[in-house]
Amino acid sequence: MSPRASARGRRDELHGVLVVDKPRGLTSAAVVAQVRRRTRVATAGHTGTLDPLATGVLPVCLGAATKLVQWLAAEDKAYDASLELGVETDTLDLDGLVVRRDPEGAARVDARALAAAVAAGAARREQVPPMFSAIKQGGVRLHELARAGVEVERAPRTVEILEARLLEVALPRARLHLRASKGTYVRSFVRDVGAELGCGATLTALRRTASGRFAEAQAVPLAEVAPEVVAARLVTPARALALPAVTVAAAHWRDVLDGRPLPAALVADVAPGLFQLLTPAGDVLAICERAPGAAGAAGAAGEGGAVVYPRVLAYGAPDVQRSR
C-alpha cells in the first residue's frame, strides 16, 4: 500500500496499533479523531465501538494497520460491568431516560437469584441488540430511529458469552466480569438479567479490560497521547496480528504488491489458514490465507492449496512503491 495522503498532503509514517484508555463521555469516533490529530497520521480507525458511558481498552489502528481492523475487531473482548436492579432506561444504561422502576421487585432478589440470572444469560446464544446502537436496519442506524421515537423489531444476533461471573454484590447493585464474542452488547446482557429476575436492570458503568490480545495494562490514557509516547507504545502490525509469518526477499515484493503468484516453495511449509508475509525487517507486506483446494486463486499455489492475499499492506516496501 502506498502511504495514504490526507487533504493537506500528509502521508502516514506511523503504522501500528495504539491501545488507548478511552475516557468516559467521548464516543469512540471522537477518540480516534483526537489520536489522529495528535499523531498527525492521515488514516486511523478503532477495532470495536465503546459507548460514551464506557471506558477502557480501545485499540486504534494507525496508517497501514487500518487494513487489519477486520481481523482485530473479530476477536473476543472482556469487560467489567456495574448494574442496578429495579431500574430500566430507554438506552439500557444510565445515559438514557428511566422508563420503569421496580424497587420492590429488586428488594426480593438475593445474591443466589442474581447469580442464577447471570448464569442463564451466559448460556444464551442469541441476543437482541438495543435500539440505541449503530446497527443499520433498512439503511438507517437504529439509534437514529430511536431518537425519532421509532422502535422496530430487531432480529436476534448470535453471540457467545465465554465467561460471566459476579465480582461484587451489594444489592440492588452488583459488578460482574464478562468475556464475550464480537458483537455482544453488555447493555443487552444486563437487560436480560433484569428480565430474568422480573425487576429490570440497567448498566451503570462499563470498562473494557481487554480486546483480543490487547490488555488494560497496555492502554495509554488519551490525555497522554503524544508523538513520543506513541513511538514508544505502538504495537507493530506483525505483533498485533501474531500470525504465522513467512519472510519474503525484496526480489518478490513487487509480485506481492501486484497480487501475482509467489514461488510455491516459499509457502510450502505454511499450514492452511491465515499467515503474514514480512520483509526481512519485520514489516508486513500482506495478510494471506492458505486454503485446501485446487490452484487458481491469485497467489502462490502448491499441494496444500491456493494462497490468496486478502489484504496487501506493503508499508515495509517503500522502494517498490516509488517505482510503481
Q: Are 59 and 216 in contact (CB under 8 A)?
A: no
In angstroms, the CA 317 to CA 284 distance is 9
Hey, what's the cell of 130? 438495543
Non-local (6+) Cβ contacts of 81 within 8 A are 175, 176, 177, 178, 186, 189, 190, 203, 205, 206, 207
Q: Are 262 and 243 in contact (CB under 8 A)?
A: no
From 21, 51, 80, 283, the catalytic residue: 51
Q: Are 288 and 248 in contact (CB under 8 A)?
A: no
Q: Are 295 and 281 in contact (CB under 8 A)?
A: no
Residue 51 is among the residues annotated as catalytic for this protein = yes
DSSP state letter for 130: P
Centre a 10 Å sphere on the Cβ of residue 226 and count the other Cβ atoms it contains: 11
**C-alpha to C-alpha distances, 320 to 2, 255, 256, 275, 316, nearest whole angstrom:** 10, 10, 10, 22, 9
β-partners of residue 205 are 82
Least Cα distance to 93 among 53, 46, 134, 136 occurs for: 53
In angstroms, the CA 62 to CA 42 distance is 8
Report the catalytic residues. 51
